[in-house]
Amino acid sequence: MDRMKNLARSLRGLVEKDEYQNPPDNTTDMLKEIIEAYKEARQLTDEYLYEDHLKWLKWSFEEGHFEFPDDYDFSSSRWALGLMIAQTERYGGIVMDTKKGTLPVNLEQPIDDHPDRITEE
């Protein structure tokens, strides 16, 4: 869980932008905000992008890093969607931890030192 704590420290400021507490009034503006989050997320290194973000978000609420339910707002959803789009772009799918390992397995851009990486060995 140390990785989760490090990720929490690194990403917390990005999801705490007060201007994003409520979704925009129209779909176009909402999608623009999600695209902005995606542009930010695609700048992340593999160390931070190749993580199960929904698992991290759930853990952050459970551990009290976010106020339940007050911090569950458009900002956290905007950022989660942006991250998932960036993950899909870079790895070919949304990163998620399973009991069998982390998906997607991306052999073109392997993360050799990721402790949950599935290998052919």
**pTM of the complete model beyond 0.85:** no
> Given CA atoms 78, 45, 97, 94 in this order, what sign does their dihedral have?
positive
b/e string for 25-36 if b means 16 or more Cβ within 10 A? eeeeebeebbee
Quickly state the pLDDT bin for 7 (edges 50, 70, 90). low
40-53 residue pLDDT tens: 999 999 989 999 99
16-75 residue pLDDT tens: 555 557 888 899 999 999 999 999 999 999 989 999 999 999 998 899 988 888 888 888
